[in-house]
C-alpha cells in the first residue's frame, strides 16, 4: 500500500500544546479549539502566543494537508502544564471527535503512570489514537511509553519526508525526523527542533494511514505504515 496519495482527509487531529495561530500560512486554518487554564477552566482562547503549537500544527499540515486540526491550549506562559490538565485535554480531544491526539509533550514522573494509563484507555475507547514520544536521550516518557500509544523516537539523520517502523521490547515505534517544517531564510539549526516535532511528523503519517483505513486500530495502523514503508513502486 502506498500512502503518497493520502492527505489525512476526514481525519481530525487534536494538537495539545500552546494553542495554534490558525491564520499562519503554514497552518491554513483549524476546525476549532479550546484552552484549558491553569485552574482547569475551559475557555475559548486557543491562540498561540508561544509559537510551539503553531510549529507543531504546521509540521502536521505539511505532511497531511487535508486533516482537520483541533487546537487544545494547555501551555500559557511557558511550555509546562499539570498532569491534571494534560489528562483533561486528552479527554476533551476525544470528546471533540479526534481520531489522532498529538502530544508533543510528556512527563518522566512515574507516579503519574496509573492515571495516564486510564486516560489512554478512555481515549482509545472513544476511537482516538495518541501519538507521543516513547523515549528521548535515554529517558522514557509518559504517556508515549505506555501500551496503546503510538510511541515515537527521533532520528536526527532521518529524511523529513519519511519514517521507519522500529520496535522496542517487541513493541512497534515510529521513528521520524525531529525537524519541523522549514522556514524560508532560517537555517534548520536555528529553527525549533526536537522530539516534539518527531511526534508531529509521526502524527501526520498516522493521519494518512487512517485516511486509507478510517476504522483501523493501532495494530492495523502500524501494519499499514510498515507495508507502505517497505513497498516499492512497480516498474
- The 10s digit of each residue's pLDDT in 45-88 is 999 999 999 999 999 999 999 999 999 999 999 999 999 999 99
Residue partners of 219: CB distance under 8 A and separation at least 6: none
Residue 2 lies in a domain: no
Quote the DSSP letter at residue 119: H
For 228-231, which contacts have Cβ atoms below 8 Å and span 24 or more sequence positions? 228/1, 228/2, 228/3, 229/162, 229/163, 229/164, 229/165, 231/1, 231/2
Residue 170 lies in a domain: yes
pTM of the model as a whole:
0.94
State the total domains in the chain.
Answer: 1
Q: What CATH code is carried by the domain that includes residue 21?
A: 3.40.50.200
DSSP secondary structure string, 1-28?
---TT---TT-EEEEEES---TTSTTT-
| Containing structural domain, residue 47 | 12-229
- Report pLDDT for 189: 65
Longest CA–CA span in the chain (Å) reads: 59
- Report pLDDT for 102: 98
Residue 5 lies in a domain: no
Q: Quote the mean pLDDT of the chain.
A: 93
Residue 219 lies in a domain: yes
Residue 99 lies in a domain: yes
Q: How confident is the model at residue 235 (pLDDT cuts 50, 70, 90)?
A: very low
- The 10s digit of each residue's pLDDT in 136-194 is 989 999 999 999 999 999 999 999 999 999 998 889 999 999 998 766 666 666 667 89
Residue 44 lies in a domain: yes
Residue 7 lies in a domain: no
Q: Where are the beta strands (DSSP E) in the chain?
A: 12-17, 32-36, 42-43, 68-73, 100-103, 129-133, 135-136, 139-140, 150-154, 163-168, 171-176
Q: Count of CB atoms within 10 A of residue 228's CB?
A: 19
Helix (H, G, I), strand (E, B) or coil at 33: strand
Angle between helices 83-95 and 113-125 (to 10 degrees): 10
Asked if 195 contacts 136 with a C-beta cutoff of 8 angstroms, the reply is yes
Residue 234 lies in a domain: no
Residues 159, 160, 165, CA angle at the centre, nearest 5°? 70
Quote the DSSP letter at residue 112: G
Nearest to 52 by CA among 81, 94, 90, 31: 81
Give me 135's grid cell: 523515549
Amino acid at each position: 500500500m502506498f500512502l503518497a496519495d493520502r492527505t489525512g482527509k476526514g481525519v481530525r487531529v487534536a494538537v495539545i500544546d500552546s494553542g495554534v495561530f490558525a491564520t499562519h500560512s503554514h497552518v491554513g486554518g483549524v476546525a476549532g479549539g479550546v484552552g484549558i487554564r491553569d485552574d482547569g477552566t475551559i475557555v475559548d482562547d486557543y491562540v498561540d502566543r508561544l509559537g510551539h503549537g503553531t510549529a507543531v500544527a504546521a509540521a502536521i499540515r505539511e505532511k497531511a494537508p487535508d486533516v482537520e486540526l483541533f487546537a487544545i491550549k494547555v501551555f500559557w506562559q511557558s511550555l509546562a502544564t499539570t498532569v491534571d490538565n494534560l489528562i483533561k485535554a486528552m479527554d476533551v480531544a476525544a470528546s471533540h471527535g479526534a481520531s489522532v491526539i498529538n502530544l508533543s509533550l510528556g512527563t518522566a514522573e512515574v507516579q503519574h503512570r496509573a492515571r495516564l494509563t486510564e486516560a489512554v484507555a478512555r481515549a482509545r475507547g472513544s476511537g482516538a489514537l495518541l501519538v507521543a514520544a516513547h523515549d528521548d536521550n535515554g529517558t522514557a516518557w509518559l504517556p508515549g511509553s505506555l501500551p496503546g500509544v503510538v510511541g515515537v523516537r527521533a532520528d536526527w539523520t532521518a529524511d523529513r519526508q519519511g519514517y521507519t517502523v522500529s520496535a522496542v521490547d517487541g513493541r512497534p515505534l515510529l521513528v521520524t525526523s525531529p525537524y519541523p517544517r522549514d522556514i524560508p531564510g532560517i537555517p534548520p539549526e536555528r529553527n525549533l527542533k526536537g522530539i516534539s516535532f518527531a511526534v508531529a511528523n509521526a502524527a501526520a503519517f498516522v493521519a494518512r494511514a487512517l485516511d486509507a483505513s478510517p476504522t483501523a486500530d493501532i495494530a492495523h495502523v502500524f501494519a499499514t505504515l510498515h507495508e507502505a514503508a517497505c513497498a516499492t513502486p512497480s516498474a
